[in-house]
Each structure stands twice: as structure tokens, then as C-alpha cells.
């Protein structure tokens, strides 16, 4: 396992990476909060992210990007650096439609790191983590 | 079935997913690479891959129901995506197979490929809840 012992997580650096370019920038995802064991990324509601204009619920495709990023960055935090990894498996449960106009937050934690692989899980919610809209379980290959 | 009978979700327009062609009654969806879909450098983001797989599954059960017992309200309950090889800077394609279509739940297997269908970049199991359309 690679670790960088003197690495420190700086939210502004993560935000700079997320807004810079690519799919994360298109979806407007950014850092929301973190603690020793978890990280939260946020995806503000935007008309372009909607699946069904009648309900205003966010598209599952956009949500899965948020889940993938959050689950993956939880592992980087635990590894201690932005080290290369790829998603092996991502399972998303869509518990209920998301609310029109509400920012969706995904809180993820890395549960385990073994040689070559790491595992995380998370929940996505608008206001209250006890009322999740989505659940995620993901595994990653560490490069 | 033909292309005009199903409508892709609004988000398909945001990322650029469209119907490429039909394989008998099954739609084949496609997504061109663009910088806005990039995850790791030179590759589609895993979330864009997941989105294309999910849309392929949804479009496939939608087309099947419209051709058979009639349109319904479709809500994916979950999706499990396996990433097998990177999806690189060229068009991606996805289609899905109905494993089982019950009265209230359909189970589908979706595959995403680039060079050829027998070299999948990713696959997904997508379970879709089926409910009657709400009265307009």
C-alpha cells in the first residue's frame, strides 16, 4: 500500500481539481465537508442534471458520478494522497427521487484497504443523512 | 419498434446520449467522447459510463413494454456497474438485455463497448420498478 505520511488534505485543493475540467466540472460537484472518517461532496441542483422535468429529480447518471467521486475520494483520504486508482464495481441504490432545487450531498467512508484494493460506502441526501435518497457501495483497484 | 417510440431522459441531452440504431427490438445507445465527460485523463468518467448503461437498460425495458403490454412508469431501483477496461476517447455504445420482465420489476443486463461488443468496457445489472402511468 502506498501512503504519503506527510500529506494533508486541503479542501480548496480538492475543489480546484473538481471545478477545473472534465465531467466533474460539467456536473458542478464540489467539496462539502469532511471528518476523520468521511468526506462529503455536493452537487447543486441544476436543470441540466434533471431526468424528468415534471418532478425535477436529478438523473441517476449524474448521481452515480457523484457517488463514484465521493466513494473514491474517501479512499484517497484514507490512503493519504491523490494516488491513482480505478473503480472496479459501483452499486447504487436509488431509494427515492431527489428533491427539485435541493443540493445533493454524498457522504462516503472508506471501510477497508487491502493490498491492491479498497472498499467504501456512502449515502446521498439533501437535508438529513437519516433520510437518504441513494446508497452506494464501491470497490477500487489501487494502481 | 422504432426510434420515435421511446424518449430518452432529459439528462441524455446534457451529456449527449442518443439512439444509434436498433438491434431488432433493442435500442443501441451511443455517446461520443468529449472533454466534458472526462474522468481520468483520456478516459470517460466512470459516472458517464454508468449513466450510459443505465439509460440503455431503461430504454430497452421501455421499448419492450411499449411494444407489448403498454407504456409504464419506470424507476430504476438500483444499478451495479462492473468496470472492465477503460472507455477511451472515442464513441461508446451500450445495449441491454432483459433477463426477466415481471409485472412490477424488470431485471436487465447492460453492456458498454467501444471497439467490439465482445470486448465490454463495463457491464451493469439494472433493476427497474414498473408501475402504471399516472393519470394525465
Average predicted confidence (pLDDT) for chain B: 93
Q: Buried b / exposed e across A27-48, counting CB within 10 Å, b at 16+? A: bbbbbbebeeebbbbbbebeee
pLDDT band for position B3 (cuts 50, 70, 90): very low
Contact state of B48 with A23 under an 8 Å Cβ cutoff: yes
- Our CA-based measurement puts residue B15 at a distance from the nearest CA of chain A, in whole angstroms, of 9
Using CA atoms, how far apart are residues B16 and B18, in angstroms rounded to an integer?
A: 6
Domain count for chain B: 1
Q: CB-based contact (8 Å) between B122 and chain A?
A: no
Question: Distance between CA A85 and CA A140 in Å, rounded?
Answer: 6
Residue pLDDT, tens place only, B11-59: 999 999 999 999 998 999 999 999 999 998 899 999 999 999 999 999 9
Q: CA B26 → CA A66, B79, B117, distances in Å? A: 29, 19, 14
Render pLDDT for B95-136 as a digit per residue (tens, 0 to 9): 999 999 999 999 999 999 999 999 999 999 999 999 999 765
CATH number assigned to the domain comprising residue B28: 3.10.129.10
- Is B50 close to A49, i.e. CB distance below 8 A? no
pLDDT at site B48: 96
Look at residue B17 and tell me if it is in a domain. Answer: yes
Check CB contact under 8 Å for A22 and B38.
yes
Q: Strand pairing of B105-113 and A85-94?
A: unpaired
What's the pLDDT tens digit per position in A27-39? 999 999 999 889 9
- Confirm or reject contact between B16 and chain A (CB < 8 A): no
Residue that is written with C-alpha cell 466533474 in the block = A24
- In-domain check, residue B58: yes
Residue with cell 473514491: A72
* Strand partners for A132: none
Q: Is B54 on the interface with A (CB under 8 A)?
A: yes
Is A65 within 8 Å of B45 when comparing Cβ atoms? yes
**CB-CB under 8 Å, A60 with B76:** yes
**CA geometry: angle A128, A42, B50, nearest 5 deg:** 105
Is residue B136 situated within a structural domain?
no
Would the CB atoms of A91 and B80 count as touching at under 8 Å?
yes
> Which pLDDT belongs to residue B15?
95
Q: Residues in chain A with pLDDT < 70?
A: 1-5
Chain B: residue nearest A27 by CA? B36
d(C-alpha B11, C-alpha B8), whole Å? 8
Residue B82 with chain A: CB contacts under 8 Å: 88-89
With contacts defined as CB-CB under 8 Å, which chain B residues touch A51? 9-11
Contact B35 A21 (CB under 8 A): yes
pLDDT in tens, A61-77: 999 999 999 999 999 99
Contact yes or no for B128/B77 (Cβ under 8 A) = yes
Please spell the DSSP secondary structure of chain A, one letter per residue. Answer: ----TT----HHHHHHHHHHSHHHHHHT-EEEEE-SS-EEEEE---GGGEEETTTTEEPHHHHHHHHHHHHHHHHHHHHTS---EEEEEEEEEE-SPPPTTPPEEEEEEEEEEETTEEEEEEEEESS-TTS-SEEEEEEEEE-
B48 touches chain A (CB under 8 A): yes
CATH of domain A11-142: 3.10.129.10
With respect to residue B117, please indicate whether it lies within any of the assigned structural domains. yes
pLDDT at A18: 86
Range of the domain at B75: 3-131
Closest CA to B121 of B76, B91, B78, B79: B91
Domain ranges in chain A? Answer: 11-142
How close is the nearest chain B Cα to the Cα of A5, in Å? Answer: 24
Amino acid at each position: 500500500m502506498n501512503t504519503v505520511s506527510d500529506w494533508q488534505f486541503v479542501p480548496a485543493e480538492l475543489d480546484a481539481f473538481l471545478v477545473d475540467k472534465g465531467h466533474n466540472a460539467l456536473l458542478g460537484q464540489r467539496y462539502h465537508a469532511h471528518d476523520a472518517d468521511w468526506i462529503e461532496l455536493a452537487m447543486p441542483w441544476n436543470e441540466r442534471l434533471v431526468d424528468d422535468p415534471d418532478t425535477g429529480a436529478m438523473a441517476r447518471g449524474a448521481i452515480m458520478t457523484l457517488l463514484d467521486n465521493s466513494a473514491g475520494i474517501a479512499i484517497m483520504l484514507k490512503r493519504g494522497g491523490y494516488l491513482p486508482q480505478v473503480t472496479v464495481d459501483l452499486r447504487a441504490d436509488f431509494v427515492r427521487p431527489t428533491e427539485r432545487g435541493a443540493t445533493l450531498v454524498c457522504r462516503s467512508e472508506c471501510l477497508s484497504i487491502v493490498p491492491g484494493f479498497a472498499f467504501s460506502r456512502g449515502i446521498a441526501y439533501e437535508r438529513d443523512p437519516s433520510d437518504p435518497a441513494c446508497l452506494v457501495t464501491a470497490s477500487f483497484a489501487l494502481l | 419498434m422504432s426510434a420515435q417510440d421511446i424518449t430518452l431522459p432529459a439528462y441524455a441531452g446534457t451529456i449527449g446520449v442518443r439512439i444509434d440504431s436498433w438491434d431488432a427490438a433493442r435500442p443501441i445507445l451511443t455517446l461520443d467522447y468529449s472533454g466534458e465527460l472526462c474522468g481520468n485523463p483520456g478516459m470517460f468518467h466512470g459516472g458517464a459510463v454508468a449513466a450510459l448503461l443505465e439509460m440503455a437498460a431503461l430504454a430497452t425495458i421501455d421499448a419492450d413494454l411499449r411494444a407489448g403490454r403498454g407504456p409504464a412508469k419506470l424507476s430504476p431501483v438500483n444499478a451495479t456497474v462492473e468496470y472492465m477496461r477503460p472507455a477511451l476517447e472515442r464513441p461508446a455504445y451500450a445495449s441491454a438485455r432483459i433477463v426477466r420482465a415481471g409485472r412490477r420489476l424488470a431485471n436487465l443486463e447492460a453492456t458498454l463497448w467501444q471497439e467490439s461488443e465482445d470486448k465490454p468496457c463495463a457491464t451493469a445489472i439494472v433493476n427497474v420498478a414498473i408501475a402504471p402511468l399516472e393519470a394525465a
